[in-house]
């Protein structure tokens, strides 16, 4: 009788253990990353941003050169204005206004170009990050990886679920050295 009770107890313990393991394995594996930290500490983003700044610097320099040229012409016209005949004054003012319009149009198009280039640069970097995180999740057995945003989509997450550092390290290593995505 005693032996039967012990056997039954062991059997129950075995069933409970197996059930617990199966239950645990069936739970979805969820983690989250701090999206802002991931994006801004990603070496690909830093490099892309640096290159973007170089381009912007050239565009701003061009706009400044045109602005200076326009201001010079305006100053020269002011100096010589009294010496001009009525007809010449009219032509000079018209010419200056046309130059102003061309400058305004150019400055506006450069501003639009800068905006589009920044958007394109950011989207390219996000494509890289999203692609990597997806493969990281698949390789490391995650069912869901959430990204925190400043709008508060995740109000709280425990440290054990925060995989930002691991993903960032793997992402930067992949960017520098290549390899298969989640195994650099």
Partner 1 sequence: MLASCHSNAPVTADDWFAYINDPSNGLVKVREVNGFRFEMKYLPADYWVYREATRRKEKLSEEERESIRQVYEGSHHFLLSIGTDGEKRQEVDIMRVGVNDYKDYSFRMHKMNFTMKESFSLKGKRHQHVPTFANLENVYGLSPKRNLNLVFLDNEDIREASTWDIKMEDDIFHTGIHHFSFNRTQLHTIPTLTF
119 near partner 1, judged by CB under 8 A: no
51/93 with CB nearer partner 1: 51
57 near partner 1, judged by CB under 8 A: no
137 near partner 1, judged by CB under 8 A: no
125/163 with CB nearer partner 1: 125
Contact 43, 129 (CB under 8 A): no
Where does residue 20 rank: exposed (0-12), middle (13-18), buried (19+ CB within 10 A)? Answer: exposed
User: x/- string (CB under 8 A) for partner 1, residues 35-54?
Assistant: ---------x--xx--x---
Cα distance between residue 82 and residue 37, in whole Å: 62
57/130 with CB nearer partner 1: 130
49/89 with CB nearer partner 1: 49
Is the alpha carbon torsion for 175, 177, 181, 184 positive or negative? Answer: negative
Contact 129, 168 (CB under 8 A): no
For residue 46, the Cα-to-chain-centroid distance in whole angstroms is 10
173 near partner 1, judged by CB under 8 A: no
**SS3 assignment, position 50:** helix
Q: Which residues bind partner 1 (CB under 8 A)?
A: 44, 47-48, 51, 120-121, 123-125, 127-128, 130-132, 135, 175-178, 180-181
């Amino acid at each position: 009788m005693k032996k039967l009770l012990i056997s039954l107890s062991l059997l129950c313990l075995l069933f409970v253990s197996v059930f617990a393991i199966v239950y645990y394995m069936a739970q979805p594996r969820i983690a989250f990353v701090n999206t802002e930290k991931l994006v801004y500490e990603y070496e690909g983003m830093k490099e892309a941003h640096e290159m973007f700044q170089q381009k912007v610097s050239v565009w701003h320099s061009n706009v400044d050169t045109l602005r200076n040229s326009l201001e010079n012409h305006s100053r020269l016209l002011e100096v010589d204005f009294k010496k001009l005949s009525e007809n010449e004054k009219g032509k000079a003012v018209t010419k200056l206004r046309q130059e102003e319009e061309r400058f305004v149009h150019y400055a506006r198009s450069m501003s639009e170009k800068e905006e589009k280039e920044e958007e394109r640069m950011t989207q390219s970097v996000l494509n890289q990050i999203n692609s990597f995180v997806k493969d990281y999740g698949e390789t490391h057995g995650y069912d869901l990886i959430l990204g925190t945003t400043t709008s508060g989509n995740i109000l709280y997450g425990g440290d054990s679920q925060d995989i930002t550092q691991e993903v960032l390290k793997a992402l930067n290593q992949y960017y520098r050295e290549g390899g298969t995505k989640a195994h650099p």
